[in-house]
Structure 1
């Protein structure tokens, strides 16, 4: 089993070259970047002498737990993608962390970030989940990231809803490709709360096949790139004007229908209000009865011209 320890750092040729005459303790104290990608590391040991560490590369190893990093209060970038991590533990002391890379692990619940008030980027794509499992988010963790998180990558995690992420109002770059998002109405609602969003990738989701998917999202956002394709301002203006014209026609048609429905049939008008005359319905009935009378009755009135 390979452990990340001070001995491993001492044996590293890349780091040994940077000592520049310093003693090993002095070198460790001055160390800011530590590169141990693809070294078959399974465990993080005691490296607490590296107190000024700001960037740590431990990606493409075999680490199962995040541990022994409580000392790293100056750490800003942590690269631990493509390991075997199952839980987001022991991160609460990394108060200055701005970028966290945990894609390609086995994480099922996003949690443990409530004290990371400066986190700007969170990368959680391609978690190796059990069949039928999807990546879940702790609501308190999401709320704690609401004022800071700008970049979120949750692609390929069987996610079917992003409604809980509506609180992330500072997002500028959002990737959720190859998931199971299907509701365009939900997307429109969430995006209306992300005024800073400029780039989004939802390719590979069922919602992308919905009618007018791209047009509807362009109209309700300030996006400049959607699913890898640039959105020109001319295109946005055209779609906004098209939507406005469509809504205006709809309102006009509704007003016409309402007006037509509010006009009664002429034969039902009541002109006898306040004694102004007989009901036209009565007049109509009288005329009709006259038309139905036999000729003999209609001519029963004497013709004065003949009598004279």
Structure 2
């Protein structure tokens, strides 16, 4: 197993060049950038001597767990794409982290980001997901990033809807290609309405004119839906009134109510007078055929 240790750092060319003038401890204390990408590293050892580390490159390795980074309170950039990571964890002390690259891992849930109050970029594209599963988002993490996160890359993750990203009010760039999103117009409208700062959607620039057009379009669509729902409610109520029988307020005098549509009838309802016939005993009775009831219209 290849572990990232201070001794491995000591063997690097950069330290060899500096070792003549300073000790390993001094070198590690001054170290701000560390690049150990594509080194077959499987684990991260104690690197607490690198207290001033700001940028760490660990992509293209075989790391399965994010660990031993609690010391890196000055870290601003973390590159760990194309490893074997399945869980986002142990990042709570990285209060200055602004860019996090975790694409090409095996992450199924975007979580563990609650304390990253400075995070501006999140890259989780192309996760190696189990068949039939999609990448999902922990609402707590998304909510905690609502005022900071600007750039999000969620491409190639079988995602079929993005309502979970609605709280990201400062979002300016979203990359979501090669997913299972269906209604593109509705998708863009959601993003434009919820993210006033959005400037780029999968490389397509969003200007203020197009944003305002879609906002107005959505408002018009919502108003029409509200009107349609109101009309449907009235229709359902009228249908209920005709079918409830004795519960109808005029059921005790049906012939009277039917004969006075202008007084008791509701607007938009057409009534048809019943046929009055006598029975075998000479008594009056109202007779409605199925055809008569079908002519009641709204």
CA drift of 1:17 comes to 2.1
CA drift of 1:180 comes to 0.6
In the alignment, the residues of structure 1 paired with residue 123 and residue 204 of structure 2 have an alpha-carbon distance, to the nearest angstrom, of 21
Alignment check: 8 A CA contact 2:199 2:207 kept: no
Q: Does 2:35 align with 1:35?
A: yes
Q: Does 2:120 align with 1:120?
A: yes
State the TM-score, normalized to the length of structure 1. 0.66
Count residues with an aligned counterpart: 217
The alignment yields a C-alpha RMSD, in angstroms, of 2.3
Alignment check: 8 A CA contact 2:15 2:27 kept: no
Residue 5 of structure 1 corresponds to which residue in structure 2? 5
Gaps of 5+ in 2: 225-298
Alignment check: 8 A CA contact 2:199 2:205 kept: no
Structure with bigger gyration radius: 1
Q: Deviations over 1:16-45 (max 9, x none)?
A: 324561111011000000000000000000
Alignment check: 8 A CA contact 2:199 2:206 kept: no
Residue 131 of structure 1 corresponds to which residue in structure 2? 131
State the TM-score, normalized to the length of structure 2. 0.68
In the alignment, the residues of structure 2 paired with residue 18 and residue 162 of structure 1 have an alpha-carbon distance, to the nearest angstrom, of 49
Residue 154 of structure 1 corresponds to which residue in structure 2? 154
Residue 25 of structure 1 corresponds to which residue in structure 2? 25
Q: Does 2:195 align with 1:194?
A: yes
Gaps of 5+ in 1: 202-227, 252-308
Query: Residues 148 and 230 (structure 1 numbering): CA distance in 2 closer, same or farther, change over 3 Å?
Result: closer
The aligned runs of 1:1-308 (5 Å cut-off) are 1-19=1-19, 21-183=21-183, 184-201=185-202, 228-229=203-204
Q: Deviations over 1:247-286 (max 9, x none)?
A: 9xxx9xxxxxxxxxxxxxxxxxxxxxxxxxxxxxxxxxxx
User: Secondary structure of the equivalent of 1:17?
Assistant: helix
Following TM superposition, the consecutive aligned residue runs of length 4 or more in structure 1 with deviations greater than 3 angstroms are 228-233
